[in-house]
Amino acid sequence: MSERFRLMLAQLNPTVGDIAGNAAKAREAWQSAKAAGADMLALPEMFLSGYQTQDLVWRPAFQADLYESLKALAYECADGPAMGMGVPLTDDTGLHNCWAVLSGGRIEAVIRKHHLPNTSVFDEKRLFVSGDISGPYRIGPVRIGTPICEDAWLSDVAEAQAESGAELLLVPNGSPYARNRFDTRMTHMVARVIETGLPLVYLNLVGGQDDQVFDGASFVLNPGGKLALQLPAHEEAMAVVDFSYSDSGWHAETGNRVLLAGPIEQDYQTMVIGLGDYLRKSGFKRVVLGLSGGVDSALVALIAADAIGAQNVHCVMLPSEYTSIHSLDDATELAYRLGCRLDTVDIEGPRAAMQAALAELFAGLPADVTEENIQSRIRGTLLMAISNKTGALLLTTGNKSEVAVGYATIYGDMNGGYNPIKDLYKTRVFDTCRWRNENHRDWMNGPSGEVIPLRIIEKAPSAELRQDQRDEDSLPPYAVLDAIIEGLVEQDLSVSDLVAQGHARETVEQVEHLVAISEWKRFQSAPGPRLTNRAFWLDRRYPLVNRWRDRRSE
């Protein structure tokens, strides 16, 4: 009879700093693993502390609490399967990103991460000390090598563990969502399987933390790179993986292989989960937002309804003399279809009072953008007052195109605690609205059908801060604007590169200038879920004061 090994994978959603809560989730998963007859339970990278901790992990008291909790888990889970989980631990060499194996009532093994990522959203070289490459450890009949996340993106750790006798690679991860990230992960993991000839388990965190959303999508590969198991993206999941041994080594039995969604749906679910987890983990139960009758606020309202239910979404219309009748009608129709509360607060009284207060100081000066921004800041103040009074988190609604070029008013429509569409370009806002009108999933709490009226999607975008205003009065058409911003921000292309693609030099230089002078606004903007590899904040860090512009002509 061939040898067998049963592994329980726990793709779960921890909360940063909630050591007791994360430990409770681990104990509950361990009970399930025990009931399933598993030899081992595996939990993702940094599970006990939550991820990413940033500088919280430096606190000695936090480190002490983690270690005491880890020891307690080992003691409480002694009579049953081994358990592996990610946790930061300190030794004589410093603080490490570790994966601890608990067995028989004690901490049986500690694997220290060797390669510390220091790109995009990661600062691990700042936080942790690199550990030596760890050898394999034995659980029952199998010797397991554990490259931790980044360790498996390079070849040396997995190869060293295979050469040291590892028969199975178990890779715990804290890998946040970014568009097309799954294909990149799969490519790297298949390479490790081909190089070592070993089966590989890729186990990822799930859930939102600040601007990052960990998307799960864990999987198992057999030797040769064949997919044996695929867990869903963006939801907690547990799965038993049975391995059997033959003359050719260990192989995983084929399990459920979930088909992953397309890019628009993945982005949308990331925004829904990012907002929902931010609220839940911060203690908020309701949200409030300004509903303008435009497409951005409509999409944010729908994301909120899908995250926490329409009954917890409070929309407020704040019209001025420049607000069109169709905007009022569209906002009303959206709120009706959505099933959320809608109130109207006219801003003409506060605007008149503010203009009267400033009349003496502004005497003799022509009207300009100042008067437009006053309207936006009145709205921001009123919405913040409602947020304070009701305890609902204020959502802001600027898309990535607007955030990039500063087409928003600081302390006005940028007011808010979270922005679900911060990393979504305007052209993708339109695509996402159309997709959501045509699709409904079980994880959506909002209604099905055409929730966003087509007129909202199809009409020309306008801030409605002056008579007959259109966004394209100040900006290039959004299809052009987004292509230029994507080149400048996502790809670091030069002005000349974009001109060579067919864009007018004057337009590219205008956009580049707007992106540069808006850095200070982005520095003060609300967080929002990361969808791309160059989201504003940790992915792209620029000085607030920056006089350089790309004006090379070659």
Residues that are catalytic: 45, 113, 149
Phi-psi region of 344 (alpha: psi -120 to 50; beta: other; left: phi over 0): beta
- Structure token pair of residue 94: 């410093």
Distance, in Å, from the CA atom of 172 to the CA atom of 149, rounded to the nearest integer, reads 6
In sequence order, the 6+-apart residues with CB closer than 8 A to the CB of 539 are 120, 121, 530, 532, 533
Q: Where in 113-150 does DSSP place strands (E)?
A: 137-139, 142-145
- Structure token pair of residue 282: 């911060």
CA distances in angstroms from 407 to 167, 229, 399, 518, listed in the order given: 55, 45, 10, 9
From edge to edge, which strands make up the β-sheet containing 287-290?
Answer: 341-344, 313-317, 287-290, 393-394
Q: Which of 348, 351, 340, 344 is nearest to 327 (CA)?
A: 344
Asked if 72 and 102 touch (Cβ cutoff 8 Å), the reply is no
φ/ψ of residue 179, rounded to 5: -55, 130
In sequence order, the 6+-apart residues with CB closer than 8 A to the CB of 461 are 294, 295, 426, 470, 471, 472, 478
Q: Which of 289, 281, 44 is nearest to 152 (CA)?
A: 44
- Structure token pair of residue 81: 């399967």
CA distances in angstroms from 449 to 19, 302, 374, 437, 454, listed in the order given: 41, 12, 37, 6, 12
Interior/surface letters 384-396, b for 16+ CB within 10 angstroms, e for the rest: bebbeeeebbbbb
